[in-house]
């Protein structure tokens, strides 16, 4: 194991990704587009995750876990429809999904994942 920690897209408050001991940790991703459908927000968030994973040198087949926050339980089915088409068959991570009041007004979806480096 290495003691090296690599941070990607870092500012004074946070890093969008941190790589340590062969694991990629992504910050919670929220959509830029608020007040649009949960399906649109979810697709935007998942695309952001793809971009961050790629910048870390992995893809969604290497996902280990996902934490999902939805502003309302009524969004669960729409979120799952987009999620299910995004996760590669046979590569579903562990997952938790809860209802939460999200900090960005009009935002209904937030997702944070971890992935294993190849």
Query: Using CA atoms, how far apart are residues 111 and 2, in angstroms rounded to an integer?
Result: 27
Q: What is the sign, positive or negative, of the torsion defined by CA atoms of 55, 57, 60, 64?
A: negative
> What is the pTM for the complete model shown?
0.95
- The model's pLDDT over 26-60, given as tens digits with 9 standing for 90+, comes to 999 999 999 999 999 999 999 999 999 999 999 99
Closest CA to 76 of 49, 50, 95: 95
Q: What is the CATH architecture assignment of 5-116?
A: 2-Layer Sandwich (3.30)
CB-based burial label for 95 (10 Å; 0-12, 13-18, 19+): middle
Domain ranges for the chain = 5-116
Rounded to 10 degrees, the C-alpha dihedral 80/81/85/86 comes to -40
């Amino acid at each position: 194991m290495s003691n090296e920690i690599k941070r990607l897209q870092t500012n004074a408050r946070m890093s969008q990704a941190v790589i340590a001991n062969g694991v990629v940790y992504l910050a919670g991703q929220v959509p830029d587009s608020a007040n649009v459908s949960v399906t649109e927000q979810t697709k935007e968030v998942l695309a952001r995750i793809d971009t961050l994973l790629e910048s870390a040198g992995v893809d969604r087949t290497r996902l280990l876990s996902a934490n999902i926050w939805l502003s309302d339980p009524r969004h669960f089915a729409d979120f799952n429809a987009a999620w299910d088409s995004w996760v590669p068959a046979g590569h579903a991570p562990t997952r938790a999904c809860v209802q939460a009041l999200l900090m960005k007004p009009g935002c209904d979806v937030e997702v944070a994942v971890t992935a294993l480096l190849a």
